[in-house]
Amino acid sequence: MRKLMLIIISLFVIFSFSYSAVNKSELESKVKTILKGAQILGIEESPIKGLYIVFIKKGNREGALMITEDGKYIIAGNLIDISNPSQPESVIRRIGEEKGYIKPPKAQKKVDMSKIDLTNTPRFGQKNAPEIIVYFDPTCPFCKRELATLKELTDEGKVAVYMKYFIVHGKNAREKAEKAECIREAYGKEAYWDYLLKNKEPKKAPKCNMEKIKKRIERDEKEAKELGIRGTPTWIINGNMHVGYVGKSAMEKIIDKEKSNKVKK
């Protein structure tokens, strides 16, 4: 009886693996039929049962799409993991980077660090951690996501971050930046992060030297323009500029590559 059970289990395992291989091969064939000339880099299971991620390359462009197990439906778009609401993550990017289909984004350009004034710039993180300078608008949704990543990495001791402002969304954004700085000066970093990431304000309104805060924000904006920054978030590590939200896994890879270097002050 025991021997018979072992044989049944063995056959089940064999057929399971065979089905998986055949299924992926059929999916690959269907994608190639639809996207003529596309190279299939790989097909990986997504966290959603019956949904697969197909990593493709056509010409010089790489990308990904999703396809149902029966091959009837293709979904073009992203798959976002919101199990941590303050830190949503692209499932496609995460799996793509883990499997080597997607490479971390390259730096946009080299920055002259002597043009960056870190005087009185808020810094969060351990003393000897690799340092990042981030220019952000507090009302920019992608900035909020990148700031959540940076906070998580600073809490884990993997990075230190200098916070600089580049206002791109007008009066309301400027007022929020000024209030955020006032909250930080009056109540410290946790209150500051709560306001930026959760829009949570202290029970008692802080009192600050607003003229001094406004001048520092204006300095950051002028500096950003001189560096050629046009959008947010933009962040710099070891003189290498990165533009746009990249997410935690990509940022960790970039930090690991640059971790032996320090921001020049």
So where are the chain's domains?
Answer: 32-103, 109-258
Note the CATH architecture for domain 32-103: Roll (3.10)
Q: Mention every residue, 6+ apart, whose C-beta is less than 8 A from residue 165.
A: 135, 136, 137, 138, 177, 217, 220, 221
What is the predicted pLDDT for the residue at 85? 67
- Dihedral angle at the C-alpha atoms of 137, 141, 142, 147, nearest 10 degrees? 70
Question: In the sheet that 51-58 helps form, which strands lie side by side, from edge to edge?
Answer: 39-45, 51-58, 61-68, 74-75
Q: What are phi and psi of 82, to 5 degrees?
A: -115, 25
Let me know the angle formed at the C-alpha of 162 by 157 and 229, rounded to the nearest 5 degrees.
130
* 32-103 and 109-258 share one fold: no
Tokens of 29: 């064939």
CA 137 to CA 118: how far, in whole Å? 18
Candidates 3.40.30.10, 3.40.190.10, 3.40.50.1240, 3.40.50.720; correct CATH number of 109-258? 3.40.30.10
Tell me which H or E stretch contains 258: helix 248-258
pLDDT by position in tens, the chain (length 265)? 444 344 333 433 333 333 344 367 888 887 887 788 788 888 899 999 889 999 988 887 788 889 888 888 888 888 888 877 656 778 888 888 778 887 766 767 899 999 999 999 999 999 989 999 999 999 998 899 899 999 999 999 999 999 999 999 999 999 999 999 999 999 999 999 999 999 999 999 899 999 999 999 999 999 999 999 999 999 999 999 998 888 888 888 889 888 755 544 4
With CA atoms as reference, report the closest residue to 68 among 100, 97, 39, 43: 43
193: left (phi over 0), alpha (psi -120 to 50) or beta: alpha
Q: Mention every residue, 6+ apart, whose C-beta is less than 8 A from residue 200.
A: 194
Query: Is pTM, for the whole model, over 0.85?
Result: no
CA 169 to CA 153: how far, in whole Å? 27
Residue 60 · residue 74 · CB < 8 Å: no
